[in-house]
Structure 1
Amino acid sequence: MTDVAPSFNSAEPVQLSEEEAEQLAQELKLQLRQGERPAGDSQAIERMVAGLGDRRGLLRLTFAESLGTVGSAAVPALCTAMCEHENVTVRRAAAKTLTLISDRRALPFLLKALLNDVDPVVQGSAVGAMAVIGADAVEGLLEILVDPSNTPMQTGLASWGLSFVGARAPEALKEAARSPHARIRTAAIGALGDQIQNLGDEDARQLLTDALKDEDEEVRAEASTLMGKLNDSQWALPLLLPNLNDGSPLVRKNTALSLMKLEDPAAIQALESRCESEPDDAVKPILRLAVNQLERHA
């Protein structure tokens, strides 16, 4: 894996003794309680960033909240700490604090942390901060999905990040659902649920409908799964039933599970018929389970 972002200029990290950290935390707590904004000069910020490495969790929380209140002025120091600090506690806390600030300038550095840091907490926190930023983060998250050199952990986090962005970036997600890259389409389709269910987005609904017949089995499987989460049996049932005869066992399995979640007994006959002809021993139990559950509802 290679670096994907430059570094902000930084001096040698500031160090705080336990007594200095405790005194600084008390001063910051008082300021926060009084509604005052902590000092945002570079020296004050560096001292607060140094406090993110304190072994006491409550003190770290005070430093993070104070840096979050300082806002954008703290972003360069936090990005440097997240990407370069030798103490993993500082890197974790810096990534989480960037979530509080939600500044798009941090995006290349958050991407760098995701791709280069060996700590899964840093990776996850970096994606969380990207997701909070919203639409501007979509492109970077999608790039992670199409790069085969990235780990399953990284691509999984990127998919989660896209799902979290959800309705914050409707147009970006819908464009991604039309991508020539199947992996991107899969992730984007899986993230369309909020737009369809909560916003009534008809374009997103049509994209999901089309995805049920996508040339890629992963896309069809993801679309079949999402159909079962939308609690709209009247719409979903006639669209899902043909996928019980899909050439992919994964699609057939996901379709059966979604039909079960929809709790519509009208699917029983099709499921029973498929169960009789199903050649895959891994799919048969899922079909039987779906039939049994739907019969209980009937």
Structure 2
Amino acid sequence: MPALNSTENVQLSEEEAEQLANELKHQLRHGQQLSGDEAAIEKMVAGLGDRRGLLRLTFAESLGTVGYAAVPALCRAMCEHENVTVRRAAAKTLTLISDRRALPFLLKALLNDADPVVQGSTVGAMASIGADAVEGLLNILVDPANTPMQTGLASWGLAFVGSRAPEALRKAAQSEDARIRTAAIAALGDQIQNLDDQAARQLLMDAMRDPDEEVRAEATTLMSKLNDSSWAVPLVIPNLRDQSALVRKNAALSLMKLEDPSVVEELKNCLTNENDDSVTPIFKLAISQLTRDRE
């Protein structure tokens, strides 16, 4: 899709918006094809700014029905419209269409719009597109210039995409960039838990021994979220002796969450040899919690 050309925003009065919404509802109800010409689309986009929620919903559903033809106008509204209600609704409507051509504009809005609802809606639209959105979401996660809000949303979006784009995530988990491996590993949980993806499971096992401590730490944390203690515990225990304090902390916390009291003695042995003051409280917490569970 070419760069968007700015056009003057169409304005609708409340009466015009209500009349148009009623016409659109009638057409939708009777299965009639909606007009996809530029003027009709611009009027529907203008309706996204109406103060009445039900009318906005009608315009959004209508634009979703129009589909691909509405994408340029929706992208323009999302990125450029002065009314935040329109920007929010445009981003949400793009979720209904799931057109990969919108990805650059969704990224632009996520990175430049200060409104958190717009940001969240852009990630929702990206996630609905699937595998093609993975690269952009990963780039957001690994760029230190992005805000915690942006990276948190990207992480959510990546996890949501996971089950729909297993190959893309598996590829990312083997990236030469440790930051991308870390982000991809964090998103593998759904594939392992719900799809029983054995390739993803092997990638997680490999990540437990990754040369980068952030990757090992993320993999160790993910182990505690998979509700499979018989598989996870033997893999997590060696990381109690990892050279990285962060990995050792995450290993102790993961074992605590896996709720297997049989690891208490192992934790006590590791605590005896632990010299990092930031790690020992975590070991003690895990021992205390698991001892209560055993009793």
The two structures have a TM-score, normalised by structure 2, of 0.93
Kindly provide the amino acid, as one letter, of the partner of residue 115 in structure 2: D
Question: Which of the residues 35, 43, 51 maps onto 1:47?
Answer: 43
Could you tell me whether the CA contact under 8 Å between 1:114 and 1:154 is conserved in 2? yes
Are residue 164 (structure 1) and residue 152 (structure 2) matched?
Answer: no
Change (3 A) 1:29 1:70: same
Of 77, 81, 84, the residue aligned with 1:81 is 77
- Aligned equivalent of 2:258: 262
Structure 1: distance between partners of 2:31 and 2:283:
59
Identical pairs, percent = 77
CA distance in 2, matches of 1:80, 1:280: 53
Task: Give the equivalent residue in structure 1 for 2:189.
Answer: 193
**CA contact 1:177–1:186 (8 Å) conserved in 2:** yes
Distance 1:117 1:7, change over 3 A: farther
1: CA distance, partners of 2:232 / 2:2: 47
Which of 92, 96, 102 pairs up with 1:100?
Answer: 96
Name the CA distance, whole Å, in 1 between partners of 2:270 and 2:53. Answer: 55
User: Following the alignment from structure 1 to structure 2, what is the Cα–Cα distance between the partners of residues 277 and 97?
Assistant: 57
Greater CA deviation, 113-122 or 279-288? 279-288
Quote the offset at 1:79 in angstroms.
Answer: 0.5
The correspondence of residues 213-232 of structure 1 with structure 2, limited to 5 A, is 213-232=209-228
State the 1:6 CA deviation. 5.8
Q: Which residue of 2 aligns with 1:246?
A: 242
Query: Which of residues 159, 169, 179 in structure 2 aligns to 1:183?
Result: 179
Query: Among 110, 114, 119, which residue is 1:114 paired with?
Result: 110
**Where does the alignment leave 5 or more consecutive residues of structure 1 unmatched?**
none
Matched, 1:7 2:3: yes
CA distance in 1, matches of 2:195, 2:87: 37
One-letter amino acid of the structure 2 residue matched with residue 147 of structure 1: D
2:25 is aligned to 29
Aligned partner of residue 198 in structure 1, secondary structure:
helix
Does residue 154 (structure 1) correspond to residue 143 (structure 2)? The answer is no
How many positions carry a matched residue from both structures? 294
Over residues 174-205 of structure 1, what are the superposed CA-to-partner deviations in whole Å (9 max), with x where a residue is unaligned?
11111111111111001111222222222211
Q: For residue 62 of structure 1, report the CA deviation from its aligned partner.
A: 1.6
Q: Tell me the TM-score normalized by structure 1.
A: 0.92
Compared with structure 1, are the counterparts of its residues 61 and 251 closer, same or farther at alpha carbon in structure 2 (3 Å cutoff)?
same
Structure 2 unmatched runs, 5+: none
